[in-house]
Amino acid sequence: MSAYEVDLFVIGGGSGGVRAARIAAGYGAKVMLAEEYRMGGTCVIRGCVPKKLYVLASRFADGFEDAPGFGWTVDAPKFDFSVLKAAKDKEIDRLEGVYAQNLAKAGVEIIPQRAVVSGPNEVTLADGRTVSAKTILIATGGHPVRPEATPGIHLAENSNDFFDWPTLPKSVVVVGAGYIGVEFACLLNRLGSHVTLILRRDHVLPRFDEDLRKGLTEAMKLAGITILNHTDVEMLDGRPGHVAVTTLTGRCIEAERVVYATGRKPNTKGLGLEKIGVLLDQEGGIIVDGFSQTNVPSVYAVGDVTNRLQLTPVAIREGHAFADSVFGGRPTQVDFGLAPTAVFSTPEIGTVGLTEEEARKTHPIEIYKTSFRAMKATLSGSQERVMMKLIVDKSTNRVLGVHILGEGAGEMIQMVGIAVRMGATKRDFDQTLAVHPTAAEELVTMRTPWVAPSV
């Protein structure tokens, strides 16, 4: 009989923690999981899922606008934000229940309270109870941050607050131009808010391919979003519902709400990790090896709390790999290279592999790219453009990166990601028959390398 009450104690009921708990239980481990808020974590409760529902709602605006070009007569559409929010909340409640049910079916005991690490093999619950565990997994995710030193910052909100808004504001200032910033700006704009996006750089989405960044920036401007670049917020003033935002360049914007989307940090504060000697990085992220193990052998960590690659599918894969390694007898490391990802802006982005800037530093490359109006736009009159780009190693013909801007980019890149991971060459793309008429056929019909225009 084991000297421990459980084989595995998981702290955190988000994507990574839940997957790890379920798989470990499937291998016969006795598992407990503590979650102090709601099952599902950031992704399900206040991240990917509610965001995507709002994005889908916002795109009906384009459908109504495009319809007359195809012969439809549409009465002036009306939008009720409260109906959308209620439907979103209902779906989130359903998903939270599914997460709990799946854990219970797997035999995992759920503890609905806060838990902290009180020893290398001990966890203390909020009610004072202690649980001994052979292995402890930290999967507490992260939280949004904002510059607390900015005068008037208490008037600003973050991405968590956004999903609790009861009504749609007429005007919003979004600060930050990463995934969350551009997604919020695009969906709010199409739902009917006047949106101003403030960013410190020239284009949105730093670290993405430059053509994607430029293309999305122009599309957002075309949609009516005001973009203030090369600046930041100097101060906020006013009161909730009437906020004045002053930028470093002296611009003043008045808005009902201000949302900061300027990054996230790991949830490690107050977990007791320092007490047992678990090493953290400068951002508070838990330092782990390739098997998600910390410097304390009995303690592991997965997901955003490790500050590696902050994406839900990555947390899920890490959680599964952890369970395979520790409880399944199948040592597994997660390969973070060639991770496909999507940004659910409108138009959306799908990307995998190296950017052009990255590839030029390490490979002799050829660029294949195209920009065109989608077939729908020929009748709707929309000026929005699709952009596709392939980055190819000249010496091996291998496709190093694929970058797509346009409708369905997220769906396309999931499939393309498989080919790129398998080492597909440009010749493989060329020999694949096109599906016509589709936008995606452009990925297999680009034949001539792009040459930069002479200055």
Residues classed as catalytic: 436
Nearest of 181, 167, 286 to residue 225 by alpha carbon = 181
Q: In what order do the strands lie in the sheet with 226-228?
A: 226-228, 194-198, 171-175, 257-260
E strand or H helix at 159, and its extent?
helix 159-162
The answer, yes or no, to whether the previous bond of 169 is cis (omega within 30 of 0) is: no
Q: Are strands 233-239 and 171-175 parallel, antiparallel or unpaired?
A: unpaired
Residue with structure tokens 């459908």? 63
CB atoms within 10 A of CB 224: 10
337 burial type by CB count under 10 A (0-12 exposed, 13-18 middle, 19+ buried):
exposed
The answer, yes or no, to whether the previous bond of 347 is cis (omega within 30 of 0) is: yes
The single-letter DSSP state of residue 143 is E
In whole angstroms, give the CA distance from residue 400 to residue 423: 8
Amino acid at residue number 351? T
Residue with structure tokens 């002036």? 76
In whole angstroms, give the CA distance from residue 355 to residue 344: 19
In whole angstroms, give the CA distance from residue 17 to residue 302: 7
In whole angstroms, give the CA distance from residue 347 to residue 197: 16
168: Cα separation from own chain's centroid:
23
Nearest of 320, 277, 291, 8 to residue 134 by alpha carbon = 8
Residue with structure tokens 């090896």? 289
> Are residues 43 and 99 in contact, defined by beta-carbon separation less than 8 angstroms?
no
In whole angstroms, give the CA distance from residue 2 to residue 113: 25
How far the first Cα of the chain sits from its last, in Å, is 76
